[in-house]
Chains A and B, each alone.
Chain A
Amino acid sequence: MVKYILKRLLFIFVTLWIIVTCTFFMMKQLPGTPFDAERFSIMTPAQQESMLEMYGLNDPVPVQYVKYIGNILHGDLGTSFSYVNQDVGSVIAGRLKPSALIGLQAVLIGLAIGLVLGILAAWKHNSGIDYLTMILAVLGVSVPNFVAAALLQYYIGLKWGILPIGFWTSWNCSVLPSIALSFSATAMVARFMRTEMLDVLDQDYIVTARAKGISQMQVLMRHAVKNSILPVVTILGPIVVNLMTGSLAVENIYSIPGIGSLFVDCIKANDYPVIMGITIFYAAFYMLVVLLVDLVYSMIDPRIRLTKGKED
């Protein structure tokens, strides 16, 4: 088990290194500097030199690369171009909380509604609630999150004035973005749970359970739901990716000071150190989530054994 985790962690590091290397050299090929071209050109050569020095841009590219990797290993992601004198790590850290809150709330909403819908739909297969769930599941993945976010903002925030249309002043501000983000998560969970549980309900051990003379509720909860809810853990990885990318648009729409909006701002401002920092952060976070999901799943589901070949 420990060996397995170490192997996975090593693989994550290798992957991160490849990502860092690729993005680093790609960034170096990009046109434009963080400096305003006009102002930069009227500086004296000495001033220009010190500016480049400050951002570590006057070394040859390979040297910059080695320095950059060295710094990363020390936890230093460099200095932001657009946030003057701030290092990338603290810029990102400062934006973490809103994104984490919205993302977490979206996951919770998605799980709560998705699981209930999925269970009901499978239990009452081919009933009204089943069709409703399927329609919601299709809509949930078909309505782009930025469209949903824009419409929620317009109707609930602007026209009816129930909730704030954006910004980050109180918890209320997090409600609409969380809901907007949660749609696709809800759809994914509902659909997965429904399919999984329909499959379980067809299994022989459900008939065995019924033949025992225990109540229908017990058959449902103890046998059907328990066996179908465990695999839902495995779609947390895709859900996290979905939320990460969704937050790029949603945070912008609601003017949330989170990582998603930071990323988009920095892309527009050519703030390469922050872009790289966020890329590394996203990739590392995602891979850790996937690793965690695998570990948790293997622990809660006796059917799964992590290391291959031990299955009988």
Chain B
Amino acid sequence: MGKILEVNHLTIHIKTHKGTVQAVRDVSFCLNEQETLAVVGESGSGKSITMKGIMGILPKNGKVTEGSVLYDGKELTKLTERQMQNVRGSEIAMVFQDPMTSLNPTMRVGKQIEEMLRAHKKDMTSEQRKKRGLELLELVGISNPEERYRQYPHQLSGGMRQRVVIAIALACEPKVLIADEPTTALDVTIQAQILDLMRSLQTKIKTSIIIITHNLGVVANIADRVAVMYGGKLVETGAVSDIFHNPLHEYTKGLLKSVPKAQEKGGRLQAIPGTPPDLMDPPKGCPFAARCMETMLVCQKFMPEDTDCSENHRSACWLLDERAGGVS
């Protein structure tokens, strides 16, 4: 399997009136063809901003200051806005968190799907577009698509809206689908349906998926590999089994411990004490040092480097250095 997307040393700064937020710091990862990569981490860890940076849809005050995004051999960060528009939607598409707000409330559902086709499939006639739109609605499992096609988003339920959002994203059969917490805003029962839908569509359309989530259940359900982000940095990547059974970074360990388990009745939920670092003025060393139970002096002063531990399992933690007093 080849790499479809390769992100190297991506750094993104966001200017606010209080100062510059170093939202994403030196993040590198790759996405293989037809693979599902889950990106996990708490709010503000830079997951969404990384994805928006890849798509070139950062907010006005955000900027990729360093690093590269290679898609299918193309360097995306060097493309002009116009060239990037051709990539967006047709090659890399995105599904957003809240289906209640991610559809235009004053545009009919059908038209929002057709807009995607109109932008990228220029040779389609309007009948073809409509036919394709209806096909897509059916594909994502919406019953009586003819009727839904003419409706406005507010006439649809949340689960249905998310299906529409997915239909829009898949309209041009993109090679990469980025899903930013696609199930967070939905009911638990609907969540499973949407995940099933994404999995089955992946095999049908042969797309690679990056799914952002902070739900480790979702990760276990759908992902092949996991990338863990903390404080704007990528702290660990690896196959799902590696991450779940042999976590290396202390943050990953904390994250796994904080999942409530059914068999441990009456026990306290394990939280990670403390708060994430201020990315306006990030610490010089490991971003997790202030909350880590195993902090060493070196952690506070120097940034740990990415260390290969086994094939496809990397982590940035000083405990992995041979000089550390034995990995716990």
Q: Which residues of A pack against B, CB within 8 Å?
A: 125, 203-205, 207-216, 218, 222-223, 226-227, 230, 301-303, 312
Contact of A208 with B105 in the complex, beta carbons under 8 Å: no
Assuming the contacts A207-B57, A208-B165, A302-B152, asked whether A214 and B115 have C-beta atoms less than 8 A apart, the reply is: yes
Contact of B104 with A209 in the complex, beta carbons under 8 Å: yes
Contact of A215 with B96 in the complex, beta carbons under 8 Å: no
Contact of A213 with B101 in the complex, beta carbons under 8 Å: no
Contact of A211 with B89 in the complex, beta carbons under 8 Å: yes
Smallest distance from the beta carbon of B8 to chain A beta carbons, Å? 22
Assuming the contacts A227-B106, A301-B106, asked whether A211 and B94 have C-beta atoms less than 8 A apart, the reply is: yes
Residues in A with CB closer than 8 Å to B86 are 213
Smallest distance from the beta carbon of B325 to chain A beta carbons, Å? 47
| Of the residues B89, B154, B155, contact of A213 by C-beta under 8 Å | B89
Assuming the contacts A204-B101, A208-B103, asked whether A303 and B154 have C-beta atoms less than 8 A apart, the reply is: yes
Assuming the contacts A210-B88, A212-B88, A302-B154, asked whether A205 and B102 have C-beta atoms less than 8 A apart, the reply is: yes
Smallest distance from the beta carbon of B91 to chain A beta carbons, Å? 9
| Of the residues B52, B82, B85, B106, contact of A302 by C-beta under 8 Å | B106
Smallest distance from the beta carbon of B102 to chain A beta carbons, Å? 4
Within 8 A of A (CB), among B23-64: 52, 55, 57, 60
B224 at the interface (CB under 8 A from A): no
Question: Apart from A204-B101, A213-B85, A214-B89, what are 13 other A-B pairs with CB-CB below 8 Å?
Answer: A205-B101, A207-B52, A209-B104, A209-B115, A210-B88, A211-B94, A212-B116, A214-B115, A216-B81, A222-B107, A302-B106, A303-B152, A303-B154
A223, closest chain B residue (CB): B104
Max chain A C-beta neighbours (<10 A), residue from B57, B119, B165: B57
For the complex, what is the distance from the CA of A104 to the CA of B85, rounded to whole Å? 42
B87 at the interface (CB under 8 A from A): yes
| Of the residues B88, B102, B152, B168, contact of A204 by C-beta under 8 Å | B102
For the complex, what is the distance from the CA of A301 to the CA of B107, rounded to whole Å? 10
For the complex, what is the distance from the CA of A215 to the CA of B96, rounded to whole Å? 20
Contact of B104 with A213 in the complex, beta carbons under 8 Å: no
For the complex, what is the distance from the CA of A209 to the CA of B168, rounded to whole Å? 10
B315 at the interface (CB under 8 A from A): no
Size range of the chain B interface in the assembly = 35 or more
Contact of A213 with B96 in the complex, beta carbons under 8 Å: no
Smallest distance from the beta carbon of B71 to chain A beta carbons, Å? 13
B207 at the interface (CB under 8 A from A): no
Assuming the contacts A213-B86, A213-B88, asked whether A208 and B96 have C-beta atoms less than 8 A apart, the reply is: yes
Q: What are 16 pairs between A and B in contact, CB < 8 Å? A: A203-B101, A204-B97, A204-B98, A205-B102, A205-B105, A207-B102, A208-B94, A208-B168, A211-B89, A213-B84, A214-B89, A301-B106, A302-B154, A303-B105, A303-B152, A303-B154
B202 at the interface (CB under 8 A from A): no
For the complex, what is the distance from the CA of A227 to the CA of B105, rounded to whole Å? 8
Residues in A with CB closer than 8 Å to B165 are 208
Contact of A211 with B88 in the complex, beta carbons under 8 Å: yes
For the complex, what is the distance from the CA of A210 to the CA of B96, rounded to whole Å? 12
B93 at the interface (CB under 8 A from A): yes
B90 at the interface (CB under 8 A from A): yes
Smallest distance from the beta carbon of B124 to chain A beta carbons, Å? 15
Smallest distance from the beta carbon of A33 to chain B beta carbons, Å? 58
B120 at the interface (CB under 8 A from A): yes
| Of the residues A211, A230, A301, contact of B55 by C-beta under 8 Å | A211
Contact of A230 with B106 in the complex, beta carbons under 8 Å: yes
Contact of B105 with A215 in the complex, beta carbons under 8 Å: no
Contact of A213 with B87 in the complex, beta carbons under 8 Å: yes
For the complex, what is the distance from the CA of A151 to the CA of B152, rounded to whole Å? 50
For the complex, what is the distance from the CA of A164 to the CA of B88, rounded to whole Å? 57
B93, closest chain A residue (CB): A211
Contact of B120 with A302 in the complex, beta carbons under 8 Å: no
